[in-house]
Amino acid sequence: MSGKKDSQGEDVTPQRTGEPDDKKTVSPMPLASIAPIGDRSRETSKPEGAVRPPSAPRRPGRTVVLLAVGLLAITAILLSIRYLVPKPAKLMPVGTGFFQAELKGPGTLDAINKANVSSSLQGVITALHVDRNDVLRKGEIIAEISADDLRAQIGVARASQEAARKAVEAAYADSRRAEATLANARSTLAREMEMQRTGASSRSALEAAQTAVQQGEADLSKAQSFIRQAEAQEAQAAATVEMNQAQLDKSVIRAPIDGVVVARDLNLGDVVSPGTAIVELVDPSSIVLTARFDESAIASLSQGQGVKITFNSQGELPIDGKVLRIGREVDTETREFTVDITPQRLPSNWAIGQRSTAVIAIEGRSDVISVPASAIVRKDGHPGVWAVAGGRAAWRPVELGSIGGNLVEVRSGLNKGDVVMTDPKRVYAFMPVARSESRP
């Protein structure tokens, strides 16, 4: 094999590995390529054009494998806990029995006889004689309104009435004078007519007597007209006095009914306007509970039915009552109607608008499937129960009926012998359930 030679004819063919060192030709290293002592970066640098040996391929890390195994183990543990370990729950076997249906509805205290006492005049309250919880009788004074202008007007009206009365008296006097004058003229005419027949009187004297009679009749008619006019003016003045007196009487506010003052909205010195309530009166004997029920229950109610009333704000025992009247109008939005209930007694502390609950018992029935109200669970607005079969929980839709105390009638969806959870909490499908049965 012939080697390569440079321009001077020297052999520059590289030596093969394994050949003796004396056969190698070493090119001198440039001084610039020599790194200073301590410069590690230059010591490890590769000459330009050097080929780096390929690195060995990396294998999957053991960490990833361990993580995957751990996740699978955790998932298996969670699934075993969720679907293998039974959860204790209150269970009840479904059966049939006697069921007493009840209607329950919210209500508020109201009164049939009540009055918002106000003034028909505008003015300042100069006297206020009542306060909350005062018991009043009809006609008692509640408040007084300033009415100085009305008193002045009634004084003027009474003066006008007196002047009209005197004008009537003068008209009657004029009428009596006219009557006397007419009577004298008629007597004179009679004498003249008698003398005219005997020839003792002249024709002119007779005519003068006739004219005097006509004049007297006209004066009497005029006097009587003045009487009627004066009497009309007197009646008008009297009516004005009566009207002003009625207005003045309105400045004194009186109780329109017997009752208790349940509210006082204005104070002494306030300006009252027509229609503004000063106090609210309520007749305690007319207090009723106005309860609301769904329209589906209207056929089950009748006047005189017994009712149990429980007030939400008091811990007293239920109060007995009776249905007084049934409303004949259903609310178009809530589809509810009202029932007025008369309580046998009022609570120790009562207030108009106080909330309560009315429970009306309806006829009892036998062979009815019912479950506690706490067992009902709604999904998407549909009622259902969590039934237990084979130790697993499953949600079952049901059709509900009437309510009776803490029980709810189930018309369909359950059969005798089924087992339901009476207090389902955090229940899910196929959840293992411990079969510890207990009736609520």
Reading the block at residue 164, the tokens are 């009209």
CB 119 within 8 A of CB 419: no
What's the half-sphere exposure (Cβ side, CA atoms, 13 Å) at 314? Answer: 17
Question: Which stretches of 249-406 are assigned E, i.e. beta strand?
Answer: 252-254, 259-264, 271-272, 277-282, 287-294, 306-311, 319-326, 336-343, 355-372, 377-379, 382-389, 392-397, 399-404
pLDDT exceeds 90 at position 163 = no
Reading the block at residue 354, the tokens are 């106080």
What's the half-sphere exposure (Cβ side, CA atoms, 13 Å) at 117? Answer: 33
Domain ranges in the chain are: 87-97+365-434, 105-110+283-363, 116-145+259-280, 148-250
CA-to-CA separations, 300 to 101, 121, 332, 402, in angstroms, rounded: 11, 49, 20, 11
What's the half-sphere exposure (Cβ side, CA atoms, 13 Å) at 33? Answer: 8
CATH number of the domain at 148-250, out of 3.30.300.30, 1.10.287.620, 3.40.50.2300, 3.40.50.300? 1.10.287.620
Summarised one tens digit per residue, pLDDT across range 235-253 is: 888 888 888 888 888 889 9
What phi and psi values does residue 355 have, to the nearest 5 degrees?
-85, 150
Q: What kind of fold does domain 87-97+365-434 have according to CATH?
A: 2.40.420
Summarised one tens digit per residue, pLDDT across range 260-285 is: 999 999 999 999 999 899 999 999 99
- Can you give the pTM of this predicted structure? 0.56
CATH number of 105-110+283-363: 2.40.30.170
Return the percentage of the chain with pLDDT > 70, whole number.
Answer: 83
pLDDT at 109: 95
Return the percentage of the chain with pLDDT > 90, whole number.
Answer: 35
Whether the CA torsion 241, 247, 252, 258 is positive or negative: it is positive
pLDDT at 55: 54
**pLDDT band at residue 81, thresholds of 50, 70 and 90?**
low
CA angle 408, 410, 412 (to 5 degrees): 165
pLDDT exceeds 50 at position 303 = yes
pLDDT exceeds 80 at position 34 = no
